[in-house]
Amino acid sequence: MTGKIDAYVDCVSPYSYYATLYLRRNRQALKSHGIEVEFHPIFLGGVNVGSGNKPPWTLPAKANYSKFDSERACKYFGVAPIKTPDFFPILSIMPQRCMIYIKNNYPRERYETTFLSLWEWMYHKNINISQPEQLGELLKSHDYSDEEIKAIVGAASSPEYKQALTANTQTALDQGAYGAPWFWVRNKEGKEEPFFGSDRFAFMWQYLGLPFQDVAILEKSKL
């Protein structure tokens, strides 16, 4: 591999959902250019506290704008409209620790598809996946056995996975993170830079030296 994208994401962040979907859809193209993609669960609440940032829903102007931006993002990334559940925001510590456990103990595809289900169940099915019982049902839908589910959910209370989530979050903070999704990108020269958000991929592709088609307005006469 000649480059890498380390993506730091949290299931409480819808923009992490869009970014994860987008990078997975483009993984094969990225791989053809020697670019690896890896997703790291973090605790966004810890990033906000550590960086001094505030969640969008706590600032009226950001909250009002997000209503428009969320609808636009769903259309752009090709997902069903997101409806903010009544129980939002959740405390994502438990499911995020569980995702680290799954990442460490299962194949990448199973880890990532399970991770994607956190967003799908919360934003499309209105299910609070921060509750152990509900998370257990989600895991069961992915054919994890009762014994596996017990181990996965139990890992969230273990010192090892408490520390693992803290370490991932601190790594992102040390890189300058102030939200999610956060990306740390290494190009073929071995240089590394941060990128933030689900709408900066054109900048990322330029930095990686990848050929890509940018958004272009077509003249009416050529349609």
For 184, which DSSP code?
Answer: E
The whole-angstrom separation of Cα 18 and Cα 29 is: 18
Q: What is the total residue count of the chain?
A: 223
Whole-number Å distance between alpha carbons of 181 and 195: 9
Q: Which residue has the tokens 């939002």?
A: 88
Contact 190, 208 (CB under 8 A): no
- The answer to whether residues 128 and 87 touch, using CB atoms and an 8 Å cutoff, is yes
Q: Which two tokens stand for residue 123?
A: 């934003």
The closest of 2, 56, 61 to 34, measured between CA atoms, is: 2
* Helices and strands (H, E) in the chain, number of each type: 10, 4
User: Is residue 32 annotated as a catalytic residue, yes or no?
Assistant: no
- Determine the distance from the C-alpha atom of residue 222 to the mean position of all C-alpha atoms in its chain, rounded to a whole number: 38
Distance CA 108, CA 104 (A): 9
Q: Indicate the helix (H) or strand (E) that contains 151.
A: helix 146-155
Active site amino acids: 13
